[in-house]
Amino acid sequence: MGNGIIEIDDGSFEKEVLKSDKPVLIDFWAPWCGPCRAITPIIEEIAKEYGDKIKITKCNVDDNPITPGKYGVRAIPTLIVFNNGEIVDQITGMVAKAKLIDSIKKAI
């Protein structure tokens, strides 16, 4: 994916997220979603600033329906912060960078 962002799928979710040795931010998105595209530059900035403290991942909901279904993702973008396999925070929709950073700080 580049920019320190890892593209995950239903098959790699457990290894990359639940068994991660550091907190993980997942961006559930789809290519056709305007707000998803709009939030991507913010996620990329966060990856640069916090990439040493948190793993930043993206999951395409069209290609991977199991994981978003399991976590009740009904709208995108939905961003979920995990730590030690547990949900720390969840945000749905386009939000300010400061709100995402607040969510990340709960986990690091």
Question: In this predicted model, what pLDDT tens digit does every residue of 48-97 receive, in sequence order?
Answer: 999 999 999 999 999 999 999 999 999 999 999 999 999 999 999 999 99
- Residue 17 burial (CB count, 10 A): 21
Residue 3 is predicted with a pLDDT of: 80
pTM of this prediction?
Answer: 0.94
Q: Which amino acid is at 42?
A: I
Give the C-alpha separation, 89 to 21, whole Å: 18
The HSE-up count of residue 12 (CA atoms within 13 Å, CB side) is 11
Give the C-alpha separation, 10 to 21, whole Å: 19
CB 81 within 8 A of CB 106: yes
Active site residues: 33, 36
Topology (CATH level 3) of domain 5-105? Glutaredoxin (3.40.30)
